[in-house]
Amino acid sequence: MLPWMFRHSITSAQVMSMAGFLQSLLTDYHKHLERHQNRPFLNAAMAACALMSSSGGEITFSQRIRVDQILETLEKLQIFDPHEAVDLFNDYTWAILEDPKAGHARALAAVQKCTADQDTAGLLIRICMAVAHADGEQKLSQQIELVMLCSLLQVEPQATDLYIHSDDFAPS
C-alpha cells in the first residue's frame, strides 16, 4: 500500500502555491539578511545624528525632521522600520544629554564600528553635515563635533567643506 502522501495527486495549483510560498520565504530571508548586514550602519548613522543634534545642548524640531528625511532617502536605511531608527536616535540623544561623557562615548563607539569602509565613513560625515545644517545655520559646537568625527572616521575635513569663515558661525 502506498503512503498517504502518494494516494492523492497533487494539482498544478498546489505546486504553484508551494513555489510561491518558497519564494516568499526566500525573499523574507534576503530582507532579514540585508537588515542584519546593515544594522551597524543604522546604529552608526543614528549615533552620528544624535552627536550632531545634541552638540548644541538641545534637539530642535528641524533636526528631527532632517533625521526623518535621511531615513526616507538613504537606501541602506529604508530597509528598517523608521520607528526603530527614531527610537535609536532618541536613545542616543537621551544618553548624551543625560550623561554627556558616557553618552558621547557610547555614540562614538557605534560610529567607530563603521570606520573600515571609507565610502561609508564619508556618507556618515555627509549625514552629519545635513543634520548640522537643518536649522539653516551651523554652530561652532557642531563644527567641532564634525571635525572630531572626521578624525575618528579618517575622513579629511577639507574634503567635506567643513571649514567656513569664522564670521559665519552662529553662537552655540
pLDDT in tens, 60-111: 999 999 999 999 999 989 989 999 999 999 999 999 999 999 999 999 999 9
Q: What is the pLDDT averaged over residues 107-131?
A: 91
Pair 114, 121: CB distance under 8 Å: yes
Name the class of domain 39-168: mainly alpha
How much is the pLDDT for 161? 65
**37 or 171, which is more confident:** 37
pLDDT at 47 over 80: yes
Helices (H), 79-167: 82-98, 100-112, 118-132, 140-153
pLDDT for res 172: 47
Distance CA 27, CA 23 (A): 6
Convert the pLDDT of each residue in 133-172 to its tens digit. 998 887 888 888 998 999 999 888 776 666 555 455 445 4
Decide if 114 contacts 42 (C-beta within 8 A): no
Residue 166 C-alpha cell reads as 569664522
- Amino acid identity of residue 46, one-letter, is M
Give the CA distances from residue 148 to residues 74, 122, 162, 168, in Å, rounded to whole numbers and listed in that order: 24, 14, 11, 20
The alpha carbon of 123 is separated from its chain's Cα centroid by a whole number of angstroms, namely: 10
pLDDT score at 127: 94
Question: Coil, strand or helix: which one is 139?
Answer: strand
